[in-house]
Amino acid sequence: MSDHQPSQKELPEAPSTAPTPAGISRRGFLKGAGITAAGTALLEGVQGFSREAVASTPKGVKEFGPEPFPVTLHINGKEHALQIEPRTTLADALRIQLNMTGTKVSCDRGVCSSCTVLLDRMPVNSCMTLAIDAVGHHVTTIEGISTDEQMHPLQAAFVRHDAMQCGFCTPGMVMSCVSLLEKNPHPTEADVRYAVSGNLCRCGTYPKVFAATLDAASQLARKA
Ligand code: FES
Ligand code: FES
């Protein structure tokens, strides 16, 4: 291996506006890429535009933000009218704007899944989901699976099995397991382990989470 380190002078110049072989400047390409990523998502979320329609009608692109703009989110069976910025995450819309603080934010970067909610019954990390992308979908949070009078059977099983310590990961764990039981009412322990494989618990409650979920599954099966 050579010890030679190229000096700044030897490094090739990377012109920011030099045309590419296709005749598109680097700056122009980056600008266009930004519009594609952000603009397409916005149009699909807000106006119901298909990805194909947006791609074929670039002149129809409408920009949103940076100021807040109105959207309606369907959460736990109710419509909520909000003013959001394009950058607002679903977690922030829930916690800050709607005071639904049952959904926890721990890492805020898609690592721990403590912010798990259901989007059309599928578990998603709400810290990695833009609120605007939830427009037109059904959001279910931990607040939406029980009533003041009655816990969800899975929540009751978590209590019976003492499946929480600090509790910070617990709403996300419960939502992942609710989603599992909806899709698979008779899970094995391996199924439960897989369902919560993205949910990090620094307190190490995993064995109790597995036991609680299997217990809830058998209780629900007896009632069915
Ligand atoms: S807070 Fe969303 S993944 Fe950690
Ligand atoms: S109970 Fe503390 S992080 Fe899971």
User: What is the distance between the alpha carbons of residues 216 and 208, in angstroms, rounded to a whole number?
Assistant: 12
Return the pLDDT at 65. Answer: 82
Task: Give the chain's radius of gyration (CA, Å).
Answer: 23
**Residue 117 falls within a domain, yes or no?**
yes
Please list, in sequence order, all residues whose beta carbon lies within 8 angstroms of the beta carbon of residue 74, skipping any fewer than 6 positions away: 80, 136, 137, 138, 139
Q: What is the pLDDT of residue 53?
A: 45
In a domain, 9, yes or no: no
Ligand nearest to the CA of 112: 1
**Residue 118 shares a structural domain with residue 169:** no
Flag whether 178 is in a domain: yes
d(CA 155, CA 198): 19
Kind of pairing between the strands at 69-75 and 138-140: parallel
Q: Judge if the beta carbon of residue 202 lies within 6 A of ligand 1.
A: no
Task: Look at residue 58 in the predicted model and tell me its pLDDT.
Answer: 61
Find out whether the beta carbon of 162 lies less than 6 Å from any atom of ligand 2: no
Q: Is the CB of 117 under 6 A from ligand 1?
A: no
pLDDT of residue 24: 39
Q: Give the type of residue at 139.
A: V
Residue 168 within any structural domain of the chain? yes
Q: Is 127 in the pocket of ligand 1 (CB under 6 A)?
A: yes
Specify the pLDDT at position 12. 40
Indicate whether 214 and 157 sit together in one domain.
yes
pLDDT of residue 215: 98
pLDDT in the model for residue 59: 75
Find out whether the beta carbon of 106 lies less than 6 Å from any atom of ligand 2. Answer: no
Residues spanned by the domain of 42: 26-55
Long-range contacts (CB closer than 8 Å, 24 or more residues apart) made by 119-124: 119/90, 121/179, 121/182, 122/179, 123/175, 123/176, 123/179, 124/90
136 and 197 part of one domain: no
Residue 82 phi/psi, 5° resolution? -130, 160
**138 and 158 share a domain?**
no
Separation of CA 172 and ligand 1 centre (Å): 9
pLDDT of 213: 98
| Ligand 2 geometric centre to CA of 145 (Å) | 20
Do 135 and 167 fall within a single domain?
A: no
CA distance 178 to 184: 10
**DSSP secondary structure letters along 80-122:** EEEEE-TT-BHHHIIIIIS--TTS--SSSSSSS-TTEEEETTE
pLDDT at residue 63 in the model: 77
Tell me, yes or no, whether 107 and 166 share the same domain: no
Q: Are residues 167 and 123 in the same domain?
A: no
pLDDT at 80: 98
- Ligand 1 centroid to Cα of residue 199, in Å, is 9
Residue 98: give its domain's CATH number.
3.10.20.30
* Preceding peptide of 58 cis, ω within 30°: no
Is the domain of 171 the same as that of 208? yes
Same domain, 51 and 101: no
Within a domain: 20: no
Q: Based on the domain organization, do 77 and 140 belong to the same domain?
A: yes
Q: Domain boundary residue among 87, 121, 144? A: 144
At 94 the pLDDT is 98
- By the 8 A CB rule, do 116 and 145 touch? no
Q: Name residue 72's amino acid.
A: T
Q: Are residues 35 and 80 in the same domain?
A: no
Over the chain (224 residues), what is each successive 10-residue block's mean pLDDT?
43 39 40 38 45 55 86 98 97 98 98 98 98 97 97 98 97 98 98 98 98 97 89
The total number of structural domains that make up the chain: 3
pTM above threshold 0.85: no
Q: How many CB atoms lie within 10 A of CB 220?
A: 16
Domain CATH code at residue 187: 1.10.150.120
Q: Which ligand is nearest to the CA of 198?
A: 1
Q: Is residue 84 situated within a structural domain?
A: yes
Is 5 within a domain? Answer: no
Ligand nearest to the CA of 205: 2
